[in-house]
Chain A
Amino acid sequence: MAQLTFMISMIVMTAFWGIVGIVIPIFIPKGPNRGVIVTMLVLTAVCCYLFWLIAILAQLNPLLGPALSNDTIWYLRYHWD
């Protein structure tokens, strides 16, 4: 289950930023601004994908868990499930 969610989110994000960074630049019409727009799209895709990837990889194998106060634990037990 955990693996499935991870794989789904991985595929969705990679596909999304892949489309933004690789597919859309093909369709930008030729003009004086084509270079700038393609650069912007590719860089946006790279930066945002990298940022998301770092966030998810950092949490993949947590070495420590959150320390919660007992009030919080009581609330979470009854309200988050």
Chain B
Amino acid sequence: MGQPGNPETLRLQDNGPTWQHGDAICKMVFRSEEMCLAQLFLQSGSEYDCISELGELGLVEFRDLNPSVSSFQRRFVSEIKRCEEMERILGYLLREIRKANISVPEEDESPAAPPPKHVLEIMEELQRLEMELSEVARNKEKLQRNHLELTEYTHMLKITRTFVHSRSRHEALGPQYEEFPTLETDSVVSGCTGMQRLGAKLGFVSGLIQRGKVEAFERMLWRVCKGYTILSYAEVDESLADLDTGEINKSVVFLISFWGDQIGQKVQKICDCYRCHLYPHPENHEERADVMDSLLTRIQDLNNVLRRTEDYLKQVLQKASESVFSWVLQVKKMKAIYHILNLCSFDVTNKCLIAEVWCPVSDLANLRGALEEGSRKGDAPVPSFVNRIPSNDTPPTVLRTNTFTCGFQSIVEAYGVGDYREASPAPYTIITFPFLFAVMFGDLGHGLVMTLVALWMVLMEKKHKKKRSTNEIWKTFFAGRYIVLLMGLFSVYTGLIYNDCFSKSLNLFGSAWSVEAMFASHQWTNESLQTNALLTLDPNISGVFTGPYPLGIDPIWNMAVNRLSFLNSYKMKMSIIIGVMHMTFGVVLSVFNHLHFRQRYNVYLVFLPELLFLLCLFGYLVFMILFKWLAFGPRDSRQAPSILIHFINMFLMQDADVSPLYPGQKGLQMFLVVVAALSVPVLLLGKPLFFYWLYRGGKGLRRRRGYERVRRASEDDGSTTPHYDEDEEEGMEEMTSREAAAAAAMPKHFDFADVILHQSIHTIEFCLGCISNTASYLRLWALSLAHAQLSEVLWGMVLRLGLRFSSKLGVIALVPVFGLFAMLTVSILLVMEGLSAFLHALRLHWVEFQNKFYHGTGVKFVPFDFSLMPSILEQDGLL
């Protein structure tokens, strides 16, 4: 158990634990693993460390032992709240670090969850950092506000100076009087003198207002003060930031001259209303100059302080960024551990926590090792241990995968997770799925491009795994890189056989059709060439056809006008043959399920009728196709029968006017139809009647089942004994729900109607499905035809036009034409057709293949594994 030199070694990969062991483990990929329910007794004091060890290894799935307790009443709620508080502070930290454009260095290994005694230290550190940061941020804001005020004041002073610039010419008026701006006439001057005589005092209000509000401000002033005020304003060159809203907009400096106190108050109120920033207006030049100087120095000082503050902030954030990554991971792990601890139940008598887990039987030794390690780390006096308990619940399904097989496993699971210990179609899908894709995609050139792209993704996988991309489409393609690689490789092969490379054929071995022979036998002459636009080669004439092309379709068909009539017939028949074989394979796989679940009766009552029905009808169709290919040649091309007519006549049991394909055909066909027709009632009624017979009588079987039950009960005592090796385990395996259902289909409550209904649905589905599924495989023909036609169109309408230029300019013109050809090839033929063929191949697998043997109604095993859990901060995109 975890000692050095032990042949059992555990290695963690990114797709779950894998084993290096013997043959028995190889079977794990064909069928989901055997699981057991185990109880963990965690001594208080070391439970945190034990769970931490289990989380690092990702071995087991925990069950909730307190389902009725709400999440606020669980034991470790306060610890979780603490973790969330820490996460909040970390989020704030990360946002600040982001704002300051500091990068967070990521480490390769993730740190382990901190033991409870270190948690307080981390918490304190985080809180201290938070306080410091918020204080610095507050100070910075105050300084910035101050700075803004001073800047505005400076601008105001500068601009209002221009308003009263001309005052210098009229110094005699004295300090109280300010001149009005440029448009002065003598009358106004005299008006001033008049006012001077009246003893009225002029007042000034100056400040800044936003550009957009100036007109409204002016109008309001005019309406309220009825002309007793004069407003002059000018725009500030520099755009200033408004600290409240963060916008940068233009401001306007204004100067209001008024006389009278009441007007002054009204002006003041209006200025408040329009949220102007008011500053005191200096009385004379000297004062103005003094104020400006002091302002300038103050602004300089402020700039210094602001810069220092920002430097300090950056320093603090830099220091924090070094450890923030490990803090985030530590907090995430801690929170996960406390969530798991909440699922356990507390045993007061033994002072320990009890957890119930689903564990693969092969991992029990590792589980014990992990608990020992955790107990050692937690310095517990008594070690924690594992106890295996029997259960009637259906365990979750787990299938071991590596980086290569996990893509295929995921496309199978997208349809449905397999039942517990059901045969998995994934290992066969690794080859049949790319193959069916390639049958629909078959093009040498396109396949080559696809292979190269996939090869690039595979070779770059280490680099890309580190870089966490947020692009969903890229992530999808990258996850399926091995699928795309196999699809490309098979497409190269089928492209070779279809003899289609960017819609052109390769002539590797010399065509089998000889044109010269037609001339040699005087069928064609030079005149017949000139008069007829189209001539057909006749295979009956010797020398014209010299045997089939050794690898695939003859290249001459690429140039023939009646190409499609040959290819369609070939591809349709090929689709039927492939389809029937695929479906037969699916039916045969169901035998493995029947045998594994000890339902032998299913082999005779379900599998055999299904197989007979399928083979007698559609297997015979395949036979007829092959027979026609082999038996009928060019000599009998006139009497070559239509297979479809024969097939239909077979069902109708007529022989009409068509001559038989071979002697004895009628008898054989009738025999096959009768066998197929008989297998339907066997499929429909066999199983229900068998169950009925078991229910009524069948004493012999019942006794045997009872013996099995007694045997099982005797091994219920604990599992401190080491785990058994494989063959023994086969015999003493706990009854799965399927076997229990089989055993329970007896005495208690036997619902005959239910079984009949279930079986009749299955029969109808299978029999009608046979016909529709066989026809469904014709999509292999349809899509390959579409692909070939699209390819031909692109060649004929795009690239050929570029190649036809006869002048030297054609070389230059070919560049954009080729660019267009390449772009359309990639987007239409590779991406669109590729996705389409992918989808159809997937459908063929999910429906036509898998409904012959796969149920897919299981629950997936989700182990408690730290690497599978994203942190909230990662999800927010902060990390």
Report if A and B associate in a common complex.
yes
Please name 17 further chain A to chain B contacts, defined as beta carbons within 8 Å, in addition to the given A50-B577, A62-B634, sorted by A numbering: A1-B546, A9-B551, A31-B26, A32-B21, A35-B427, A36-B29, A43-B428, A47-B431, A51-B493, A55-B552, A56-B550, A57-B630, A60-B629, A62-B633, A63-B633, A66-B537, A70-B530
Is B562 touching A73 in the complex (CB atoms < 8 A)? no
Taking CB atoms, residues of chain A closer than 8 Å to B634 are: 61-63
Among the 9-residue stretches B118-126, B271-279, B509-517, B751-759, the one with 4 or more Cβ atoms under 8 Å from chain A is B509-517
Is A30 touching B497 in the complex (CB atoms < 8 A)? no
The 3 A-B residue pairs with the shortest CB-CB distance, nearest first, are A2-B547, A66-B560, A9-B550
Interface residues, chain A, CB within 8 Å of chain B? Answer: 1-3, 5-6, 8-9, 30-36, 39-40, 43-44, 47-48, 50-52, 54-70, 72-74, 76-77, 80-81
Taking CB atoms, residues of chain A closer than 8 Å to B535 are: 67-68, 70, 73
Instruction: Look across to chain B and name the residue whose beta carbon is closest to the beta carbon of A42.
Output: B431
Instruction: Look across to chain A and name the residue whose beta carbon is closest to the beta carbon of B570.
Output: A58
- B181 CB to closest chain A CB (Å) equals 91
The 23 listed contacts between A and B (C-beta, < 8 Å) are: A1-B547, A2-B546, A40-B431, A48-B435, A51-B574, A54-B578, A55-B570, A56-B549, A57-B630, A58-B569, A58-B629, A59-B553, A59-B554, A61-B630, A61-B633, A63-B634, A66-B560, A66-B566, A68-B535, A68-B556, A70-B529, A80-B515, A81-B516
Is A50 touching B553 in the complex (CB atoms < 8 A)? no
Is A67 touching B547 in the complex (CB atoms < 8 A)? no
Q: Does B45 contact A (CB under 8 A)?
A: no
Tell me if A's interface is mostly helix, strand, loop or mixed. helix
Choice from B29, B30, B431 contacting A44 with Cβ under 8 Å: B431
Q: Does B768 contact A (CB under 8 A)?
A: no
Interface 1/0s, chain B 429-472, versus A by CB < 8 A? 01110010001000000000000000000000000000000000
Taking CB atoms, residues of chain B closer than 8 Å to A9 are: 548, 550-551
Q: Does B227 contact A (CB under 8 A)?
A: no
- A59 CB to closest chain B CB (Å) equals 4
Is A54 touching B577 in the complex (CB atoms < 8 A)? yes
Q: Does B27 contact A (CB under 8 A)?
A: yes
Instruction: Look across to chain A and name the residue whose beta carbon is closest to the beta carbon of B569.
Output: A58
Tell whether A59 pairs with B515 under 8 Å between CB atoms, given A31-B20, A54-B574.
no
Taking CB atoms, residues of chain B closer than 8 Å to A8 are: 550
Q: Does B565 contact A (CB under 8 A)?
A: yes
Is A81 touching B538 in the complex (CB atoms < 8 A)? no
Q: Does B693 contact A (CB under 8 A)?
A: no
Is A65 touching B532 in the complex (CB atoms < 8 A)? no
- Whole-angstrom distance between the alpha carbons of A30 and B516 in the complex? 57
Q: Does B239 contact A (CB under 8 A)?
A: no
Is B27 touching A6 in the complex (CB atoms < 8 A)? no
Instruction: State how many residues of chain B have any CB contact under 8 Å with chain A.
Output: 80
Is B516 touching A35 in the complex (CB atoms < 8 A)? no
Taking CB atoms, residues of chain B closer than 8 Å to A3 are: 547
Taking CB atoms, residues of chain A closer than 8 Å to B546 are: 1-2, 5
- A5 CB to closest chain B CB (Å) equals 5
Instruction: Look across to chain A and name the residue whose beta carbon is closest to the beta carbon of B536.
Output: A67
Interface residues, chain B, CB within 8 Å of chain A? Answer: 18-23, 25-30, 400, 402, 405, 427-428, 430-432, 435, 439, 493-494, 497, 510-516, 519, 524, 529-530, 532-539, 544-554, 556-557, 559-563, 565-566, 569-570, 573-574, 577-578, 581, 626, 629-634, 637, 640
Instruction: Look across to chain B and name the residue whose beta carbon is closest to the beta carbon of A9.
Output: B550
Is B515 touching A56 in the complex (CB atoms < 8 A)? no
Instruction: Look across to chain A and name the residue whose beta carbon is closest to the beta carbon of B555.
Output: A80
- B41 CB to closest chain A CB (Å) equals 32
Is A67 touching B630 in the complex (CB atoms < 8 A)? no
- B118 CB to closest chain A CB (Å) equals 39
Instruction: Look across to chain B and name the residue whose beta carbon is closest to the beta carbon of A54.
Output: B574
Is B529 touching A66 in the complex (CB atoms < 8 A)? no
Is A66 touching B536 in the complex (CB atoms < 8 A)? yes
- Whole-angstrom distance between the alpha carbons of A66 and B539 in the complex? 9
Tell whether A47 pairs with B534 under 8 Å between CB atoms, given A3-B547, A64-B566, A69-B561.
no
- Whole-angstrom distance between the alpha carbons of A46 and B121 in the complex? 64
Is B548 touching A6 in the complex (CB atoms < 8 A)? yes
Taking CB atoms, residues of chain B closer than 8 Å to A6 are: 547-548, 550
Taking CB atoms, residues of chain B closer than 8 Å to A66 are: 513, 536-537, 556-557, 559-563, 566
Instruction: Look across to chain A and name the residue whose beta carbon is closest to the beta carbon of B563.
Output: A66
- Whole-angstrom distance between the alpha carbons of A62 and B23 in the complex? 49
Taking CB atoms, residues of chain B closer than 8 Å to A55 are: 497, 552-553, 570, 574
Choice from A5, A36, A63 contacting B405 with Cβ under 8 Å: A36
Instruction: Look across to chain B and name the residue whose beta carbon is closest to the beta carbon of A47.
Output: B435
Is A30 touching B536 in the complex (CB atoms < 8 A)? no
Taking CB atoms, residues of chain A closer than 8 Å to B402 are: 33
Instruction: Look across to chain A and name the residue whose beta carbon is closest to the beta carbon of B22.
Output: A30
- A53 CB to closest chain B CB (Å) equals 9
Taking CB atoms, residues of chain A closer than 8 Å to B514 are: 81
- B347 CB to closest chain A CB (Å) equals 39
- Whole-angstrom distance between the alpha carbons of A3 and B746 in the complex? 64
Taking CB atoms, residues of chain B closer than 8 Å to A48 are: 435, 493
- A55 CB to closest chain B CB (Å) equals 5
Choice from A39, A54, A60, A64 contacting B427 with Cβ under 8 Å: A39
Is B497 touching A52 in the complex (CB atoms < 8 A)? yes
Instruction: Look across to chain A and name the residue whose beta carbon is closest to the beta carbon of B553.
Output: A55
Is A67 touching B629 in the complex (CB atoms < 8 A)? no
Taking CB atoms, residues of chain B closer than 8 Å to A56 are: 548-550
Is A40 touching B430 in the complex (CB atoms < 8 A)? yes
Choice from B20, B22, B515, B629 contacting A73 with Cβ under 8 Å: B515
Taking CB atoms, residues of chain B closer than 8 Å to A5 are: 546-547, 550
- A78 CB to closest chain B CB (Å) equals 9
Instruction: Look across to chain B and name the residue whose beta carbon is closest to the beta carbon of A8.
Output: B550
Is A35 touching B536 in the complex (CB atoms < 8 A)? no
Choice from B400, B515, B573, B640 contacting A58 with Cβ under 8 Å: B573
- A21 CB to closest chain B CB (Å) equals 11
- A2 CB to closest chain B CB (Å) equals 3
Is B29 touching A35 in the complex (CB atoms < 8 A)? yes
Tell whether A58 pairs with B574 under 8 Å between CB atoms, given A32-B19, A66-B536.
yes
